[in-house]
Amino acid sequence: MSMRELVVLGTASQAPTRQRNHNGYVLRWDDEVILFDPGEGSQRQLLHTTVTASDLTRICVTHFHGDHCLGLPGTIQRLSLDRVPHPVAVHFPAGGAEYFARLRHATSFYETAELRVEPIEADGQRIALSCGTLEARRLRHPIETYGYRLVEPDGHRMLPDKLAAYGIAGPAVGELIRVGHLDLDGRRVTRDEVSEPRHGQRFAFVMDTGLCDGVYALAEHADLLVIESTFLESEAALAAEVGHLTAAQAARVATESGVRRLVLTHFSQRYADPRRFHDEAREHFDGDLIIAEDLTTVQLPPRRVASAG
């Protein structure tokens, strides 16, 4: 199966710490390598991973607060320096187009990379990719902010022993998948007889926001949810006031949305001990729980087994 994983570049909100770089995440998903919210230092953090700037196919920015986008100038210039041969799509809230233009041309450089600038104009905007659909949902934050999710369509997994039992091979398999059935010597074989349903995988990226419908829309049945938990419940009032989540809120969203693997990140520098985020979230979520650390990799969990039928 092709590689699907999250590479964490940085995990700090607002201000970096000695242990945590500003935000930054890369999602490898088949032929897409998507950079989310490159904060300051993202270009250098990449050097500590197996991802290179020229691997990037797409950049998604949730909003134009500095910790989510001040890595854009360096990263964009690096694409040209490395003469990236393929186009790189860039998505960001349309209302922040002026910020993007400034960051893109922050200093003089010789631009050779082809950027395909595709701003997010509306809640629910969808972008068709070869590996699924990228969808943006409006979040609740003091400035225009969109979270993203990548949804692979449900499909079928062909069962080799059943295909063999009917003597179906080669181009006939493709026809069976396409048409849904195959007529063999007067007997019709349907796709369902020789395959099992296969759930599409889902990745969601939720950053920065207070609780709102968009959070739940993005998190719904995510196999891997990356979500901000800037604060702990002791600062719940402050979190609500400034449009952020607590670890407990993020964990409850994950439970209510059927999330399988939960990655908490974007931590305020006021908390020295990351165990506190784990302990608070654990009270509300009993699935896979990861408190993100810089320069770690998180795999998509194996596909959910689809119910028979």
Q: How many residues bind Zn ion (CB under 5 A)?
A: 2
Which listed range, 48-56, 57-65, 120-128, 229-237, lies at the site for Zn ion (CB under 5 A)? 57-65
Question: Looking at beta carbons only, is 32 or 208 nearer to Zn ion?
Answer: 208
CB of 66 to Zn ion, least distance (A): 9
- Write down the least CB distance from residue 65 to Zn ion, Å: 3
* Annotation says 67 is catalytic: yes
Query: Of 119, 153, 155, whose CA–CA distance to 133 is shortest?
Result: 153
Q: What's the closest the beta carbon of residue 229 comes to Zn ion, in angstroms? A: 14
Nearer to Zn ion, 135 or 208 (CB): 208
Site for Zn ion, residues 172 to 211, rule: CB under 5 A: 208
3-state DSSP helix/strand/coil percent for the chain, to nearest 5? Answer: 30, 30, 40
User: What pairing do the DSSP bridges indicate for beta strands 24-29 and 155-158?
Assistant: unpaired
What does DSSP assign to residue 293?
Answer: -
Selecting among 30, 31, 55, 67, the annotated active-site residue is 67
* Binding flag, residue 65, Zn ion (CB under 5 A): yes
Please provide residue 120's backbone torsions phi and psi, each rounded to the nearest 5 degrees. Answer: -85, 120
User: Quick one: which segment of 61-69, 86-94, 97-105, 254-262 binds Zn ion (CB under 5 A)?
Assistant: 61-69
Residue 308 CA: distances (Å) to CA of 38, 79, 156, 208, 305 = 42, 46, 12, 38, 9
| Angstrom distance (rounded) from CA 79 to CA 278 | 36
Choice between 40 and 208, CB closer to Zn ion: 208
Asked if 24 contacts 68 with a C-beta cutoff of 8 angstroms, the reply is no
Annotated catalytic residues are 67
Residues lying near Zn ion in the complex (CB under 5 A): 65, 208
